[in-house]
Amino acid sequence: MNHLQFFLICLAGWINRHQQNVIEYLQEEIKVLREQLGKQPRFNDDQRRRLAAKAKKIGLKHLKEITNLATPRTLLASMPVSLIYK
């Protein structure tokens, strides 16, 4: 392994850890906001569509691990047919 490969592996590891820290922070922030809200939020059609478009890229298995505000099945069920078959 040369120095460039070693550097790139170290950089990729650092980026991965940083991204994981950001994800964990955002998940905790959502939990705090949900506690302050005190109830399940209601999403309008545009919000559901935006969440569903992002949810499709993640997939049901991973959504079950990370979703906080809406259930994965709700997100995927509200996805327009045009997005499902893209």
pLDDT in tens, 43-67: 888 888 888 888 888 777 777 777 6
In angstroms, rounded to a whole number, what is the distance separating the alpha carbons of residues 50 and 80?
Answer: 10
What Cα–Cα distance (Å) separates residue 27 from each residue in 9, 10, 39, 57? 27, 26, 17, 18
For residue 49, the tally of other CB atoms under 10 A from its CB is 15
9-13, 31-35, 68-72: segment of lowest average pLDDT: 68-72
For the question of whether the overall pTM of this predicted structure is more than 0.75, the answer is no
Binning pLDDT at 50, 70 and 90, where does residue 81 land? low
